[in-house]
A = this chain, B = another copy of it.
Amino acid sequence: MTIPYINQLGVVKRHIDRADRAIVEQLGQLGSATVHEAMGRVGLLKPYMRPIYAGSQVSGTAVTVLLHPGDNWMMHVAAEQIQPGDIVVAAITADCTDGYFGDLLATSFMARGARALIIDAGVRDVRILKEMGFPVWSKAISAKGTIKATIGSVNIPVLCAGALVHPGDAVIADDDGVVVVPAADAARVAAIACQREALEEEKRVKLAAGVLGLDMYDMRGALAAAGLKYID
């Protein structure tokens, strides 16, 4: 099967299969780094995607939107498809840093139950967004506004900041970045991530007590075998 992009221009998909709510919550508490490891180190958006303010840690199910450069018309179409617990993931058909999203759209998104916006472009009104407590991960901050002239699509698979996102996928975002987990894999990934997390606490205690990773992970033999030499 191919991702039939070219059949999906100008399309809004109303019914999507969302990842299980409880699993999504659990992934959100684990955080992007741990989930990304549990995924086998895939699924991460490029690191140029940064939070507009520090300290947020959210998870949700993806409502996707494909926009054109300098045109945010479809943001309003996407708003109607939001259900409580969703995170809007916005991709652009070309590189753009314009401010597609501000406090008015945020008010609307929040009223619909959205938890965050992930956008491979710019946003504005960032001081107000922070006051409203609506977190955004974006490529840029820009006062530059957009027009409403060309249609795109909502809830088709999109490529956002180097990652493929399907509607309904689990999205985990915090200060370290944004990771996407396919809905069908969410439970399995959460299980792996939990296991990983459990081990970390134990390790943390040992390391804090001064035990070296060299010994805790039993690395000295492998390092010597690889040819590492100590000199004075």
What separation, in Å, do the CA atoms of A5 and B44 have in the docked complex?
A: 12
Tell me the complex Cα distance, A78–B214, Å.
10
In the assembled complex, the Cα of A102 lies from the Cα of B7 at a distance in Å of: 27
The answer for the CA separation of A7 and B14 in the assembled complex, in Å, is 28
Q: Is the CB of B73 within 8 A of A70?
A: no
Instruction: List chain B residues, Cβ under 8 A from A103.
Output: 204
CB-CB under 8 A for A145 and B111, given A98-B94, A232-B15? no
Contact of A126 among B77, B142, B175 (CB under 8 A): B175
Instruction: Give complex CA distance A2, B180 in Å.
Output: 12
Q: Which residues 1-24 of A have a CB within 8 angstroms of B?
A: 1-7, 9-15
Contacts of A97 in B (CB 8 A): 47, 94-95
| B73 and A219 form a contact (CB under 8 A) | yes
Segment 25-54 of A: residues with Cβ below 8 Å from B: 31-33, 36-37, 39-44, 46-47, 50, 53-54
A99 part of interface (Cβ distance < 8 Å): yes
Q: What 8 A-B pairs come out closest when comparing CB atoms?
A: A2-B182, A76-B213, A47-B142, A143-B176, A32-B143, A108-B207, A33-B143, A143-B177
- Which residues of A are at the interface with B, using a C-beta cutoff of 8 A? 1-7, 9-15, 31-33, 36-37, 39-44, 46-47, 50, 53-55, 57, 68-70, 73, 75-77, 79-80, 93-99, 102-105, 107-108, 110-112, 122, 124-127, 140-145, 147-151, 157, 159, 162-164, 166, 169, 174-177, 179, 182-185, 189, 200, 203-204, 207-210, 212-214, 217, 219, 223, 226-232
**Apart from the given pairs A2-B182, A36-B145, A69-B69, 10 other A-B contacts in the complex at a CB distance below 8 Å:** A3-B3, A3-B182, A44-B142, A53-B54, A80-B214, A94-B96, A124-B176, A141-B177, A149-B150, A151-B228
